[in-house]
Amino acid sequence: MKTDFEHWLTAQFGQTGLFTLFILLMRIGASDAVPLKSSYAHLVGDEMIWGEMRRLLDSAGTPWDEAAA
């Protein structure tokens, strides 16, 4: 079963072809959202699964609650 990320990636790649993804890792509190780290990725296909993306995000070495793209 595909994750929301995988459905989004397939649709986005189908619409635009190659694209660059800006990624923002955030910590979400009861009354605030704190940006922690950012990066980017050049996506040249739609084969990445959420588990692979999660491992890349976790390699930032910072605990995070949300990722925005």
Tell me how far apart the alpha carbons of residues 22 and 19 are, in angstroms, rounded to a whole number: 10
Domain holding 24, by residue range, is 4-68
Per the CB < 8 A criterion, the answer to whether 27 and 36 are in contact is yes
Helix, strand, coil percent values for the chain (each to nearest 5): 30, 35, 35
Q: Considering its fold, how many domains does the chain have in total?
A: 1
Give the dihedral of Cα atoms 13, 15, 16, 19; nearest 10 deg: -30
What predicted TM-score, i.e. pTM, was given to this entire model?
0.81
**pLDDT in tens for each of the 69 residues of the chain?**
999 999 999 999 999 999 999 999 999 999 999 999 999 999 999 999 999 999 999 999 999 999 988
